[in-house]
Amino acid sequence: MLPIHPESPEHTTNSVFLSINTMVQTRSASSTAVPRLSPPPPSPTKRRVSNRSASNTPAPTSPPAAAAEVEVTKPSAALRGGSSSSTTSSSSPAILSHTPSTLALAWLAISLPLVAWDTGYIMLRPHSMPGGSWHAPIWVPYALYGQVDYVYGRERWEAGDGFCGAQGTMNIVETLMYLAYLWIWYSNKTATGASGSGAASTRGAVTGRSAGLAMLIMFSACVMTVSKTVLYWLNESWSGFHGIGHNSARDLVALWIIPNGAWIIFPTYLIYAYGREILDSMAPSTHRATEKLE
Protein backbone atom coordinates (compact mmCIF):
# COMPACT_ATOMS: atom_id res chain seq x y z
CA MET A 1 0.00 0.00 0.00
CA LEU A 2 1.29 3.42 -0.95
CA PRO A 3 1.75 5.93 1.85
CA ILE A 4 -0.56 8.94 1.92
CA HIS A 5 1.12 12.24 1.41
CA PRO A 6 0.35 14.87 4.03
CA GLU A 7 -1.10 17.15 1.48
CA SER A 8 -3.30 14.58 -0.16
CA PRO A 9 -7.02 15.31 -0.55
CA GLU A 10 -8.00 12.80 2.09
CA HIS A 11 -5.68 14.36 4.63
CA THR A 12 -7.04 17.75 3.81
CA THR A 13 -10.62 16.59 4.31
CA ASN A 14 -9.82 15.10 7.68
CA SER A 15 -8.15 18.31 8.77
CA VAL A 16 -11.23 20.31 7.87
CA PHE A 17 -13.49 17.98 9.83
CA LEU A 18 -11.21 18.23 12.85
CA SER A 19 -11.24 22.00 12.68
CA ILE A 20 -15.04 22.10 12.46
CA ASN A 21 -15.36 19.68 15.35
CA THR A 22 -13.00 21.79 17.45
CA MET A 23 -14.99 24.97 16.73
CA VAL A 24 -18.29 23.28 17.62
CA GLN A 25 -16.89 22.03 20.90
CA THR A 26 -15.50 25.48 21.71
CA ARG A 27 -18.84 27.19 21.01
CA SER A 28 -20.80 24.64 23.02
CA ALA A 29 -18.40 25.04 25.89
CA SER A 30 -18.70 28.82 25.79
CA SER A 31 -22.51 28.62 25.63
CA THR A 32 -22.65 26.45 28.69
CA ALA A 33 -20.29 28.77 30.59
CA VAL A 34 -22.52 31.87 30.16
CA PRO A 35 -24.90 31.06 33.05
CA ARG A 36 -21.92 30.70 35.32
CA LEU A 37 -21.05 34.35 34.70
CA SER A 38 -24.49 35.60 36.04
CA PRO A 39 -24.50 36.94 39.65
CA PRO A 40 -25.21 34.38 42.31
CA PRO A 41 -28.65 34.35 43.93
CA PRO A 42 -28.95 36.58 47.01
CA SER A 43 -28.17 34.94 50.26
CA PRO A 44 -30.90 34.42 52.91
CA THR A 45 -29.26 37.06 55.09
CA LYS A 46 -29.55 39.67 52.40
CA ARG A 47 -33.15 38.70 51.77
CA ARG A 48 -34.03 39.27 55.43
CA VAL A 49 -32.39 42.68 55.38
CA SER A 50 -34.32 43.70 52.29
CA ASN A 51 -37.55 42.50 53.87
CA ARG A 52 -36.94 44.62 56.94
CA SER A 53 -36.17 47.66 54.85
CA ALA A 54 -39.29 47.03 52.82
CA SER A 55 -41.39 46.80 55.97
CA ASN A 56 -40.03 50.16 57.14
CA THR A 57 -41.11 51.78 53.91
CA PRO A 58 -44.55 53.36 54.44
CA ALA A 59 -47.29 51.67 52.54
CA PRO A 60 -49.26 53.72 50.04
CA THR A 61 -52.23 54.23 52.34
CA SER A 62 -54.71 57.08 52.43
CA PRO A 63 -53.28 60.62 52.37
CA PRO A 64 -52.75 62.64 55.60
CA ALA A 65 -55.91 64.60 54.91
CA ALA A 66 -57.97 61.45 55.40
CA ALA A 67 -56.26 60.74 58.71
CA ALA A 68 -56.91 64.29 59.87
CA GLU A 69 -60.54 63.86 58.95
CA VAL A 70 -60.81 60.76 61.10
CA GLU A 71 -59.30 62.59 64.06
CA VAL A 72 -61.90 65.35 63.75
CA THR A 73 -64.88 63.04 63.41
CA LYS A 74 -64.00 60.94 66.44
CA PRO A 75 -64.64 63.72 69.01
CA SER A 76 -67.92 64.47 67.24
CA ALA A 77 -69.06 60.93 67.90
CA ALA A 78 -68.06 61.28 71.53
CA LEU A 79 -70.03 64.49 71.83
CA ARG A 80 -73.08 62.76 70.38
CA GLY A 81 -72.94 60.18 73.13
CA GLY A 82 -70.83 57.43 71.64
CA SER A 83 -71.67 53.84 72.38
CA SER A 84 -70.80 53.60 76.06
CA SER A 85 -73.08 54.69 78.88
CA SER A 86 -70.27 56.58 80.64
CA THR A 87 -69.74 58.84 77.63
CA THR A 88 -73.43 59.47 77.38
CA SER A 89 -73.71 60.43 81.01
CA SER A 90 -70.64 62.67 80.92
CA SER A 91 -71.75 64.52 77.78
CA SER A 92 -75.28 65.21 79.01
CA PRO A 93 -75.72 68.89 79.96
CA ALA A 94 -76.26 69.77 83.58
CA ILE A 95 -79.65 71.15 84.59
CA LEU A 96 -79.53 74.84 85.49
CA SER A 97 -80.82 75.57 88.99
CA HIS A 98 -81.25 78.85 90.87
CA THR A 99 -82.25 79.65 94.43
CA PRO A 100 -82.58 83.30 95.54
CA SER A 101 -80.15 84.25 98.26
CA THR A 102 -81.29 85.51 101.63
CA LEU A 103 -79.76 88.91 100.91
CA ALA A 104 -81.61 89.24 97.60
CA LEU A 105 -84.98 88.42 99.13
CA ALA A 106 -84.35 90.70 102.11
CA TRP A 107 -83.34 93.59 99.87
CA LEU A 108 -86.42 93.17 97.68
CA ALA A 109 -88.67 92.95 100.75
CA ILE A 110 -87.31 96.29 102.00
CA SER A 111 -86.71 98.19 98.77
CA LEU A 112 -89.86 97.39 96.81
CA PRO A 113 -92.31 98.98 99.30
CA LEU A 114 -90.07 102.04 99.65
CA VAL A 115 -89.74 102.45 95.88
CA ALA A 116 -93.50 102.08 95.46
CA TRP A 117 -94.02 104.72 98.15
CA ASP A 118 -91.56 107.09 96.46
CA THR A 119 -93.01 106.48 93.00
CA GLY A 120 -96.52 107.15 94.27
CA TYR A 121 -95.44 110.51 95.64
CA ILE A 122 -93.76 111.48 92.36
CA MET A 123 -96.59 110.41 90.08
CA LEU A 124 -99.36 111.92 92.21
CA ARG A 125 -97.85 115.39 92.53
CA PRO A 126 -99.15 117.99 93.40
CA HIS A 127 -101.87 116.03 95.27
CA SER A 128 -99.25 114.10 97.26
CA MET A 129 -97.30 117.24 98.19
CA PRO A 130 -97.87 119.29 101.38
CA GLY A 131 -101.25 120.97 101.10
CA GLY A 132 -102.52 118.36 98.67
CA SER A 133 -105.60 116.25 99.27
CA TRP A 134 -103.61 112.99 99.33
CA HIS A 135 -100.61 114.20 101.26
CA ALA A 136 -101.68 112.92 104.68
CA PRO A 137 -101.16 110.41 106.10
CA ILE A 138 -99.16 108.45 103.52
CA TRP A 139 -96.66 111.05 102.31
CA VAL A 140 -96.27 113.29 105.36
CA PRO A 141 -92.49 112.52 105.66
CA TYR A 142 -92.02 114.05 102.18
CA ALA A 143 -92.71 117.47 103.63
CA LEU A 144 -89.27 117.23 105.27
CA TYR A 145 -87.59 115.49 102.35
CA GLY A 146 -88.80 118.16 99.96
CA GLN A 147 -86.82 120.67 102.02
CA VAL A 148 -83.70 118.48 101.95
CA ASP A 149 -83.88 117.76 98.21
CA TYR A 150 -85.48 120.51 96.17
CA VAL A 151 -86.06 118.10 93.30
CA TYR A 152 -88.94 116.72 95.37
CA GLY A 153 -90.16 120.16 96.44
CA ARG A 154 -92.89 122.38 95.09
CA GLU A 155 -90.47 124.87 93.56
CA ARG A 156 -89.11 122.36 91.06
CA TRP A 157 -92.56 121.06 90.33
CA GLU A 158 -93.86 124.51 89.51
CA ALA A 159 -90.73 125.21 87.43
CA GLY A 160 -91.53 122.21 85.25
CA ASP A 161 -88.40 120.21 86.13
CA GLY A 162 -89.00 116.78 84.61
CA PHE A 163 -86.04 114.89 86.06
CA CYS A 164 -87.99 113.69 89.10
CA GLY A 165 -90.83 112.46 86.90
CA ALA A 166 -88.38 110.60 84.65
CA GLN A 167 -86.88 108.93 87.70
CA GLY A 168 -90.35 107.84 88.87
CA THR A 169 -91.04 106.30 85.45
CA MET A 170 -87.87 104.24 85.67
CA ASN A 171 -88.89 103.19 89.17
CA ILE A 172 -92.00 101.59 87.69
CA VAL A 173 -89.98 99.63 85.12
CA GLU A 174 -87.52 98.39 87.73
CA THR A 175 -90.29 97.39 90.13
CA LEU A 176 -92.06 95.37 87.44
CA MET A 177 -88.81 93.56 86.66
CA TYR A 178 -88.20 92.71 90.32
CA LEU A 179 -91.78 91.46 90.65
CA ALA A 180 -91.34 89.35 87.50
CA TYR A 181 -88.25 87.76 89.03
CA LEU A 182 -90.11 86.89 92.22
CA TRP A 183 -93.09 85.54 90.29
CA ILE A 184 -90.94 83.29 88.06
CA TRP A 185 -89.13 81.89 91.08
CA TYR A 186 -92.23 81.41 93.24
CA SER A 187 -94.42 79.86 90.53
CA ASN A 188 -91.76 77.45 89.22
CA LYS A 189 -89.77 76.53 92.31
CA THR A 190 -89.43 72.93 93.41
CA ALA A 191 -90.15 71.64 96.88
CA THR A 192 -86.47 71.65 97.83
CA GLY A 193 -83.36 73.16 96.30
CA ALA A 194 -81.16 71.11 94.03
CA SER A 195 -78.14 71.73 96.22
CA GLY A 196 -77.11 73.50 99.38
CA SER A 197 -78.14 73.21 102.97
CA GLY A 198 -80.13 75.10 105.54
CA ALA A 199 -82.55 77.82 104.48
CA ALA A 200 -81.28 77.84 100.89
CA SER A 201 -82.23 74.16 100.42
CA THR A 202 -85.70 74.47 101.94
CA ARG A 203 -86.53 77.75 100.16
CA GLY A 204 -86.99 76.06 96.81
CA ALA A 205 -85.17 76.34 93.49
CA VAL A 206 -86.26 77.12 89.98
CA THR A 207 -84.65 75.03 87.24
CA GLY A 208 -84.14 74.97 83.52
CA ARG A 209 -85.04 77.87 81.25
CA SER A 210 -87.07 79.53 83.99
CA ALA A 211 -83.94 79.72 86.16
CA GLY A 212 -81.98 81.40 83.38
CA LEU A 213 -84.78 83.87 82.70
CA ALA A 214 -85.13 84.76 86.38
CA MET A 215 -81.41 85.41 86.80
CA LEU A 216 -81.28 87.51 83.64
CA ILE A 217 -84.21 89.69 84.73
CA MET A 218 -82.79 90.20 88.22
CA PHE A 219 -79.35 91.07 86.86
CA SER A 220 -80.79 93.59 84.39
CA ALA A 221 -83.02 95.21 87.01
CA CYS A 222 -80.08 95.69 89.38
CA VAL A 223 -78.04 97.29 86.61
CA MET A 224 -80.91 99.70 85.96
CA THR A 225 -81.20 100.58 89.65
CA VAL A 226 -77.50 101.36 90.03
CA SER A 227 -77.38 103.32 86.76
CA LYS A 228 -80.41 105.43 87.66
CA THR A 229 -79.10 106.23 91.15
CA VAL A 230 -75.64 107.14 89.89
CA LEU A 231 -77.27 109.35 87.25
CA TYR A 232 -79.24 111.11 89.99
CA TRP A 233 -76.00 111.87 91.86
CA LEU A 234 -74.25 113.02 88.69
CA ASN A 235 -77.14 115.33 87.90
CA GLU A 236 -76.61 117.06 91.25
CA SER A 237 -72.89 117.30 90.64
CA TRP A 238 -73.21 118.80 87.16
CA SER A 239 -75.88 121.27 88.30
CA GLY A 240 -73.70 122.68 91.07
CA PHE A 241 -75.64 120.77 93.77
CA HIS A 242 -78.59 123.05 93.17
CA GLY A 243 -80.99 120.63 94.83
CA ILE A 244 -78.99 119.61 97.93
CA GLY A 245 -76.19 122.15 98.30
CA HIS A 246 -78.05 124.18 100.93
CA ASN A 247 -77.93 121.38 103.55
CA SER A 248 -75.45 121.07 106.39
CA ALA A 249 -72.98 118.19 106.23
CA ARG A 250 -74.78 116.30 108.98
CA ASP A 251 -78.21 116.65 107.37
CA LEU A 252 -76.79 115.79 103.96
CA VAL A 253 -75.20 112.56 105.20
CA ALA A 254 -78.12 111.46 107.38
CA LEU A 255 -81.03 112.45 105.13
CA TRP A 256 -79.65 112.15 101.60
CA ILE A 257 -76.35 110.25 101.20
CA ILE A 258 -77.15 107.26 103.42
CA PRO A 259 -80.73 106.68 102.16
CA ASN A 260 -79.77 107.05 98.49
CA GLY A 261 -76.43 105.26 98.87
CA ALA A 262 -78.21 102.05 99.83
CA TRP A 263 -79.59 101.87 96.27
CA ILE A 264 -76.02 101.78 95.00
CA ILE A 265 -74.34 99.43 97.48
CA PHE A 266 -76.81 96.54 97.61
CA PRO A 267 -77.74 96.39 93.90
CA THR A 268 -74.04 96.56 93.01
CA TYR A 269 -73.35 93.49 95.13
CA LEU A 270 -76.33 91.70 93.57
CA ILE A 271 -74.98 92.52 90.11
CA TYR A 272 -71.74 90.80 91.08
CA ALA A 273 -73.50 87.80 92.65
CA TYR A 274 -75.97 87.20 89.83
CA GLY A 275 -73.38 87.91 87.15
CA ARG A 276 -71.07 85.29 88.62
CA GLU A 277 -73.94 82.80 88.84
CA ILE A 278 -74.83 83.38 85.20
CA LEU A 279 -71.22 82.85 84.12
CA ASP A 280 -70.87 79.72 86.26
CA SER A 281 -73.99 78.27 84.65
CA MET A 282 -72.46 78.70 81.19
CA ALA A 283 -68.85 77.70 81.95
CA PRO A 284 -69.35 73.94 82.69
CA SER A 285 -70.90 73.24 79.26
CA THR A 286 -68.09 75.05 77.48
CA HIS A 287 -65.49 73.23 79.59
CA ARG A 288 -66.97 69.81 78.84
CA ALA A 289 -67.11 70.52 75.11
CA THR A 290 -63.48 71.63 75.13
CA GLU A 291 -62.40 68.45 76.91
CA LYS A 292 -64.18 66.29 74.34
CA LEU A 293 -62.58 68.11 71.43
CA GLU A 294 -59.14 67.69 72.98
pLDDT of residue 203: 82
Instruction: Write out pLDDT tens, residues 62-114.
Output: 444 444 343 434 444 333 333 333 334 445 556 889 999 999 999 999 999 99
Q: How far is CA 101 from CA 12, 112, 215, 222, 248, in A?
A: 137, 16, 12, 14, 38
DSSP bridge partners of 97: 207
Q: Residue 258: its pLDDT value, please? A: 97
Task: State which H helix or E strand residue 97 sits in.
Answer: strand 97-98
Q: What is the pLDDT along the chain (294 residues), one digit of tens a residue?
A: 444 444 555 555 555 555 566 665 555 555 444 445 455 555 554 444 444 444 444 555 544 444 434 343 444 433 333 333 333 444 555 688 999 999 999 999 999 999 999 999 999 999 999 999 999 999 999 999 999 999 999 999 999 999 999 999 999 999 999 999 999 999 999 865 444 445 555 788 999 999 999 999 999 999 999 999 999 999 999 999 999 999 999 999 999 999 999 999 999 999 999 999 999 988 765 554 554 445
Contact call for residues 102 and 270 (beta carbons, < 8 A): no
Q: What global pTM score does this model have?
A: 0.65
> What is the 8-class DSSP label of residue 96?
P
- Which phi and psi (to 5°) does residue 98 adopt? -140, 130
pLDDT at 149: 97
Q: What was the pLDDT predicted at 282?
A: 85
Tell me, rounded to whole angstroms, the distance of Cα 274 from its chain centroid. Answer: 16
pLDDT for position 166:
96
Chain CA centroid to CA 217, Å: 20
Given this model, what pLDDT does residue 74 score?
42
Beta strands in 162-214 (DSSP E): 206-207
Position 90 scores a pLDDT of: 47
Q: Which of these, 73, 98, 57, lies nearest to 185 by C-alpha position? A: 98
